[in-house]
Structure 1
């Protein structure tokens, strides 16, 4: 049976390696622009053609996607990895908003919540995307804000809205009608049978256009006064975070019950960071710090380095089982140890990313069955420290001695939410942006927040973030991610950059909440272990684990609790693999597409060209030249 299974795996890999992709590979020698919306990819192409570099193009795509709603808007957050060809270093930009004044555990618990709410003004952190975009332009871009925002401003003046976004407005109109400024923008046909725009209708956003124009005018006036490019960009920044835009944003938020103050906006700033990195078989994998779930991918790679994955065969039962177990271990650590690195307590990241810690975790993987009781490990000895949370873990229901785990932790079972609701929370929101140019600049972005149905703050046209829901109110769930004013929630947003021989190898990002680093891990292994071209790797069948705490959706613990052993597989999974996984204790579900949607760029140094991949999962689109 084992030899037969291995033969099936080899046949599957062979078919996968030769099968035609549903979308063509993108090729370019000058630049590559890929994102979640065709019109936004066009904005990136326009920016490249007007002389911008990859950072300028990424900012233009970011502005355009924010103007198109659906998966994000201007009041959300932006997470960025940039390869700087001048320094040959990868840098990270943290443009995640913070919890506002008054956002305490006591406040939310007094309203009956187990987590902060998922919609409305109380779900909002401070806006991060405008500040993150301007920071990128100041330090790494070449164009003015006026040029970069030109496509988004044209769209705000009126563009043919995509059916997906228009239908989201119609589906969410019951919530939208609770917020007067959202109702004004999203429901132009109030009182008719269909109150939202139709697909293809010209969608006009006068308030947003005015807000973007105010920022551009601030830049323009500063330049007229002889200010430098940086000073002019900062004038636009200050008008958003300290000037009349901020005043209207705060007024509109408070009118609808929000907590954000002028001081909250003025105090917030984007942060440039050094990313986290691990080396996997000679390839350097870079992720954002533990304020995201990015280190999950790094931890999983460290664990999987202890196995011969290629010999197992692509998506064989043994391969699926091994990767699933590694992901579960990494997510268990994420759920308990990740949080804002700029707030105490300090997360044990040195231990979590230790190769020796990974070997210890890898040794716990059983070859014959799923471990429904896997919990956080103990990384502190790998930092030569004692774990201060041993008693908290025991209270949560975890026994640190894995040989004694013969029960399911009390927090981690008993999810009674409907399957459709659960999967919506698992995949919710976000888009991805990939850009590269012949000078060597590479940008990978996973922006999000303010998705439909969004609460708009006053007459700004700015949809507020919903990222507060990623905090916890119970330290037994995660002592590092308890809500507090001025603190960043631990988010799912997670771009990736990979270097090989000191040069860019792959750039990739994906939307999809808690599935992001699951899909990105498998995408990377598809290329690094199984030699798939980048487009094929974006379309290849992945699998998802539900054995983790959801980061989004619901206000009760039962809405987010893990589902041990649940696995989402591609419908083409063979009956042999299905049967073997069932014997290992897995609860199987299936979908037609389980690949992403992943957007990625591969760097062909032999020919000096860029190869773009954009999966067949959604509306994602790329343009190369």
Structure 2
């Protein structure tokens, strides 16, 4: 009996602490089972949207077709994003054996200058409303991915989303978000019409399980399909027909109504802004960690910060420190702070700032120099950007601004428990969704779409919620010289899909939601697998920790020096050690995600899917 009791205690403790290799390799009991598939895998933020991906696979589509169907479904479900937001993706093409980067982030519209916002008394562009909007990128991103790398028609891919726009049973999370945001929603007439079907009643949002109908969006999606089908009837190729739908959205009647509805409500977006915007198919950036090639998008996202952190951490023996030990947490935290300080200063739209020192930032030599700054005994609350230019053989043209950066104390959060500041935490953890798909042919897709989340301002009769991504710009070059708002410029975003390759084959595809947390927790997920041999589901659920020391990309753009969020299960001795090292500690019961991931089991030629126990994210495999 005593032996059984000890075994029971051990089995309960292992999942609590996320220990995968302790206790003689006893199996870890995760709250969600791993997903398995031989032919394909589809994972995203809502089970219903994952079903949309499965439907496309059953029609014979590839992973790109399925990913586009899931993207369309999540946008239609307002899964912390909508059709007017932005899409960022990495795609592995098994034919060329290359990773492709998709940049479908909108740009600041005509008139969006620092002076415009300052004259309105703003320190940053607003969080909500028409002035928060960059041009919509998700429709173009979806259509471009489908045209270039998919196999099925737009009609096939949008069929699940069209059926959902006709009416689907809305889930409690989104329905309650609408109710909570109804005061803002009522500022915008088109949003009121869509989101508040019970206007004037005690609860004005839909009830959980109520069939939620979006007639305006339905008509917009049908117009896209109609444009494709008319082009096919004229003898156009599949690819050109999909681009006909692209043209209708950005240059046709949909564009005209979007702009009319935006400007009517005080927005800046013009027809010219939409017509001139284009999706970019780019080269990703990459680093190698312990023989694994890790790919991210360019520095218009925060993605390279994870690569920088990996480069710094390669100078330490993390495995010997032990998973989530005091020394491990401290080392990873300090490395992240150095990389994110670089993010805050150097990252931005390369099209406007081609001199961004990305090669220096990602060099192993620069990382080694940065690693020597880590004090293993105490937190460095003043971790600042470095100077990567010498590692490219150049001189820093913004050295004077760099010296001013350390004095931005006005953006430091007031002392206290940040978890009790609902506005700060909402800004810091601003959500979105992620889409992961893979198939037996070898196509792999990782997407982190976002923007246009509830409470969203809908543009006219399109049914499309406008992006809120303008708030990620700054107005003062001291805060980030490469990320100052300008017409036609892309803001530096937190959105960051990831692909990892090993021995020339896909190893991991992974992404997550939640703003500035993304690359922190994706980093730890990756280390969980690579350093501590966890399975993909264990790694998704294992307790992580978070730094609040980087500047938030949203709202007031504040930070908490030494701010550390630990899992509530962290033992007392670790808490005490970290407090003694100068951390301001807060606790959350779940700190794992939401992360969605696919691991490629090449010895068995199968897929393992993982989805954290943090939210509604899940998937389907076959």
Alignment partners' CA distance in 2, 1:602 and 1:112:
49
Q: 1:537 to 1:17 in 2, by over 3 A?
A: farther
How far is 1:64 from its partner? Answer: 0.1
Aligned residue runs from structure 1 range 373-452, under 5 A: 373-397=382-406, 410-411=409-410, 413-415=412-414, 419-452=421-454
Q: Does 1:212 align with 2:221?
A: yes
User: Contact 2:31 / 2:613 at 8 angstroms: preserved in 1?
Assistant: yes
User: Contact 1:34 / 1:599 at 8 angstroms: preserved in 2?
Assistant: yes
Q: Deviations over 1:326-376 (max 9, x none)?
A: 000000000000000111352110110010000000001001000011100
2:533 corresponding residue in structure 1: 531
Alignment partners' CA distance in 1, 2:347 and 2:405:
16
Alignment partners' CA distance in 2, 1:395 and 1:530:
40
How far is 1:412 from its partner? Answer: 5.1
How far is 1:17 from its partner? Answer: 6.9
User: Contact 1:93 / 1:273 at 8 angstroms: preserved in 2?
Assistant: yes
2:9 corresponding residue in structure 1: none
* Correspondent of 2:22 among 14, 18, 21: 14
Instruction: Note the aligned Cα RMSD (angstroms).
Output: 1.5
Q: Does 1:63 align with 2:72?
A: yes
Q: Deviations over 1:142-182 (max 9, x none)?
A: 00000000000000000000111111111000000000000
User: Contact 1:82 / 1:90 at 8 angstroms: preserved in 2?
Assistant: yes
2:557 corresponding residue in structure 1: 560
How far is 1:11 from its partner? Answer: 7.3
Alignment partners' CA distance in 1, 2:599 and 2:402:
42
1:46 corresponding residue in structure 2: 55
How far is 1:49 from its partner? Answer: 0.5
Alignment partners' CA distance in 1, 2:557 and 2:270:
30
Q: Deviations over 1:486-539 (max 9, x none)?
A: 000000000000000000000000001000000000000000000000000000
1:487 corresponding residue in structure 2: 489
1:401 corresponding residue in structure 2: none
* Correspondent of 1:230 among 239, 257, 260: 239
2:139 corresponding residue in structure 1: 130
Aligned residue runs from structure 1 range 156-171, under 5 A: 156-171=165-180
How far is 1:422 from its partner? Answer: 1.2
Q: Deviations over 1:65-101 (max 9, x none)?
A: 0000140000000000000000111010000000000
Q: Does 1:118 align with 2:117?
A: no
How far is 1:411 from its partner? Answer: 4.7
1:18 match: secondary structure = coil
How far is 1:410 from its partner? Answer: 3.0
* Correspondent of 1:86 among 77, 88, 95: 95
2:498 corresponding residue in structure 1: 496
1:5 corresponding residue in structure 2: none
User: Contact 2:45 / 2:79 at 8 angstroms: preserved in 1?
Assistant: no
2:316 corresponding residue in structure 1: 307
2:585 match: secondary structure = strand
User: Contact 1:397 / 1:411 at 8 angstroms: preserved in 2?
Assistant: no
2:6 corresponding residue in structure 1: none
Aligned residue runs from structure 1 range 189-200, under 5 A: 189-200=198-209
User: Contact 2:321 / 2:327 at 8 angstroms: preserved in 1?
Assistant: yes
User: Contact 1:250 / 1:457 at 8 angstroms: preserved in 2?
Assistant: yes
Aligned residue runs from structure 1 range 362-381, under 5 A: 362-381=371-390
User: Contact 2:301 / 2:494 at 8 angstroms: preserved in 1?
Assistant: yes
Alignment partners' CA distance in 1, 2:318 and 2:79:
38
How far is 1:234 from its partner? Answer: 1.0
2:599 corresponding residue in structure 1: 602
Alignment partners' CA distance in 1, 2:246 and 2:471:
27
2:22 match: secondary structure = helix
Alignment partners' CA distance in 1, 2:503 and 2:172:
44
User: Contact 1:70 / 1:168 at 8 angstroms: preserved in 2?
Assistant: no
1:3 corresponding residue in structure 2: none
Q: 1:345 to 1:82 in 2, by over 3 A?
A: closer
Alignment partners' CA distance in 1, 2:523 and 2:218:
39
Q: Deviations over 1:460-487 (max 9, x none)?
A: 0000000000000000000000000000
User: Contact 1:71 / 1:449 at 8 angstroms: preserved in 2?
Assistant: yes
Q: Does 1:472 align with 2:474?
A: yes
How far is 1:10 from its partner? Answer: 11
1:395 match: secondary structure = helix
1:403 corresponding residue in structure 2: none
Alignment partners' CA distance in 2, 1:429 and 1:30:
30
How far is 1:206 from its partner? Answer: 0.2
Q: Deviations over 1:558-580 (max 9, x none)?
A: x3221111100111111111111
Alignment partners' CA distance in 2, 1:11 and 1:206:
49
2:261 corresponding residue in structure 1: 252
Q: Does 1:358 align with 2:367?
A: yes
User: Contact 2:46 / 2:616 at 8 angstroms: preserved in 1?
Assistant: yes
- What number of residue pairs does the alignment pair up? 603
Alignment partners' CA distance in 2, 1:411 and 1:324:
23
1:560 match: secondary structure = coil
Alignment partners' CA distance in 1, 2:601 and 2:106:
36
Alignment partners' CA distance in 2, 1:611 and 1:30:
11
Question: Taking structure 2 as the reference length, what is the TM-score of the superposition?
Answer: 0.95
How far is 1:429 from its partner? Answer: 2.1
Q: Does 1:579 align with 2:559?
A: no
Alignment partners' CA distance in 2, 1:136 and 1:10:
37
Q: Which piece of structure 1 moves more, 387-396 or 299-308?
A: 387-396
Question: Taking structure 1 as the reference length, what is the TM-score of the superposition?
Answer: 0.95
Alignment partners' CA distance in 1, 2:483 and 2:146:
31
How far is 1:395 from its partner? Answer: 2.3
How far is 1:414 from its partner? Answer: 4.6
Q: Deviations over 1:219-268 (max 9, x none)?
A: 01111111111111111011100000000000000000000000000000
Alignment partners' CA distance in 2, 1:180 and 1:70:
21
User: Contact 2:382 / 2:406 at 8 angstroms: preserved in 1?
Assistant: no
Alignment partners' CA distance in 1, 2:376 and 2:26:
27
2:202 match: secondary structure = coil
1:614 corresponding residue in structure 2: 611
Alignment partners' CA distance in 1, 2:20 and 2:617:
27
1:421 match: secondary structure = helix
2:158 corresponding residue in structure 1: 149
